[in-house]
Amino acid sequence: MLLKNLGCADYQSTVLAMQAFTAARTSDTPDELWLCEHPPTFTQGLAGKAEHVLMAGDIPVVQTNRGGQVTYHGPGQVVAYPLVDLKRAGYFVKEYVYKLEEAVIRTLRHFGMTGHRVRTAPGIYVRLDDPKSHAGIGLAGIGDNAEQVFLRERLGKVAALGIKVSRHCTYHGVALNVAMDLEPFSRINPCGYSGLQTVDMKTLGVSAAFDDVQNVFAKQLQTWLG
Say whether 36 is catalytic: no
Q: What pLDDT was estimated at residue 140? A: 47
Q: How far is CA 69 from CA 62, 133, 145, 163, 184, in A?
A: 11, 28, 17, 11, 15
What pLDDT score was predicted for residue 212?
A: 98
User: Tens of pLDDT along 106-127?
Assistant: 999 999 999 999 888 889 999 9
Q: What are the tens digits of pLDDT across the range 133-185?
A: 888 876 544 445 788 888 888 999 999 999 999 999 999 999 999 999 999 99
Mean pLDDT of 41-59: 93
Domain count, the chain: 1
Under the banding of pLDDT at 50, 70 and 90, the label for residue 35 is very high
Percent of the chain with pLDDT over 70: 97
User: How large is the average pLDDT for residues 190-219?
Assistant: 95
Flag whether pLDDT at 199 surpasses 50: yes
- Please identify which of the residues 8, 36, 169, 191 carries the catalytic annotation: 191
Structural domain boundaries, residue 37: 2-225
pLDDT in tens, 7-24: 999 999 999 999 999 999
Report whether pLDDT(221) > 50.
yes
SS (H, E, C) the chain: CEEEEEEECCHHHHHHHHHHHHHHCCCCCCCEEEEEECCCEEEECCCCCHHHECCCCCCCEEECCCCCCCEEECCCEEEEEEECEHHHHCCCHHHHHHHHHHHHHHHHHHCCCCCEEECCEEEEEEECCCCCCCCCCCCCCCCCCHHHHHHHHCEEEEEEEEEEEECCEEEEEEEEECCCCCHHHHHECHHHCCCCEECCCCCCCCCCCHHHHHHHHHHHHHHHHC
Residue 77 has pLDDT above 60, yes or no: yes
Q: What is the pLDDT of residue 144?
A: 57
How does the average pLDDT of the chain come out, rounded? 93
| pLDDT of 142 | 43
> What is the structure's pLDDT at 119?
81
* CATH assignment of the domain containing 99: 3.30.930.10
